[in-house]
Amino acid sequence: MNRLDGKVAIITGGVSGFGLAAAKLFVQEGAKVTITDVNDSKAEQALNEIGKDKAIFVQQDVSKEADWDPVFQKTIDQFGPVNVLLNNAGILIFDDAETVDMDQWHKILSVDLDGVMLGVKYGIKYMKEKGGSIINLASIASLIGISNLYSYNAAKGGVRLITKSAALYAAEKDYPIRVNSIHPGYAHTPMVDSYPELRQKLESLHPMKRLADPKEIANMALYLASDESSFSTGSEFVVDGGYTAQ
């Protein structure tokens, strides 16, 4: 229960889904955590679940660069230097190559790709002296094409490769920062569970014949946040119930 003793983490999109599961697990393992979200309506409930003495909430739109410095500054003021950044915030819209809407396209990319890019940029800014781990929540949609996730494919494919680029950059600059990506299959998150009519079909896509529990993804984030993953950078960690093995 002490794999993250002394560490300070920022988790975007931390009030539900993967982010909340990771925040709870990180605190259980000894970390202090800042969770962020564009909407503060679920913040109080999330903090109660995580533990108010070990976590704070900061409202943030990850796609807006002006929102990033305050998140780091408030975290540092409360807990000290940041060691871990989990770029988890994301949105999903079903679309395809023929009917894609430009407004929807830009909305998906602004959160799912721009938000991660900015997280990496500011993670490096604040962690390059003392070091740390940047973890980008990608997707199986970073690895394979999915015909009705056109914009999401584009965004998450971008996340996969900027992760590698940033990891190489940090290594070349001798910054003690690791940058890795996690690629979940479909899981029980508010984003997926908001489409109950698709549940049976989504389960059938996975050889394990079920969706992931968010904690199963959080377990991978815990590994990457901990010093156990000290030789891993620029790598992609797939947690998909066998989906992409087919």
DSSP string, 40-62: -TTHHHHHHHH-TTTEEEEE--T
Catalytic residue check, 152:
yes
Burial class (CB in 10 A: 0-12, 13-18, 19+), 48: exposed
The span from the first CA to the last CA of the chain, in angstroms, equals: 35
Expressed in percent and rounded to 5, the helix, strand and coil fractions of the chain are: 50, 15, 35
Sign, CA dihedral 193-198-204-207, equals negative
DSSP string, 74-87: HHHHHH-S--EEEE
Q: Residue-wise over 100-111: b if at least 16 C-beta within 10 A, else e? A: eeeebbeebbbb
Q: Which entry of 122, 150, 152, 186 is annotated as an active-site residue?
A: 152
Residue 175 backbone zone (phi > 0: left; psi -120 to 50: alpha; other: beta): beta
Name the E strands within the chain.
Answer: 8-12, 32-37, 55-59, 84-87, 132-137, 177-184, 236-239
Tokens of 204: 């059938």
Tokens of 66: 């002006």
Catalytic residue ranges:
152
